[in-house]
Amino acid sequence: MNINYTSDQPCAETFKALYDTTGWGPISRGTAFYQDSLNGSWCSRSAYFGGQLVGFVRVISDGRLHAFVTEMIVHPEFQHQGIGTALLSSILDDCRDAGISDVQLFSAKGKAIFYEKLGFSSRPEDSPGMQFNAAT
């Protein structure tokens, strides 16, 4: 499978279409909502197959101390093919290059093992999310 990876952000319509595959929010949200979200990104990576956005990850950050992975999405028909690993690994490289050692995210239910394979660890039961351990 020929996947094209890029650091260019997708257009809001394309991002919305992929986001809508997750079930995380109301499909009734307009593209302006997603454009505003994209505008707040520190960095992102996109994966395309035949011109279709099939994967996307983005980070919000102060660029120095902290980063938060806000979306890590792979279209359901393209999961388990290494796309998510490639996207997240690339964005973590950007964080490391900026000297950011505190990278956090919220893991969707049942997805923690995926993030653990990439160096994240679960936080205590009374704390939500996961945190990347850049020192390890």
CB 32 within 8 A of CB 23: no
Let me know: does 132 contact 103? Beta carbons within 8 Å.
yes
Please list the residues that pair with 4 across neighbouring strands.
48
**Rounded CA gap, 67 and 98, in Å?**
10
In sequence order, what DSSP letters do the residues of 22-82 get, joined into one string?
TTSS-TT--HHHHHHHHHT-SEEEEEEETTEEEEEEEEEE-SSSEEEEEEEEE-GGGTTSS
Q: Is 115 assigned a catalytic role?
A: yes
Q: Which of 19, 34, 48, 115 is catalytic?
A: 115
- Residue entry with tokens 């960095």: 43
Catalytic residues: 115
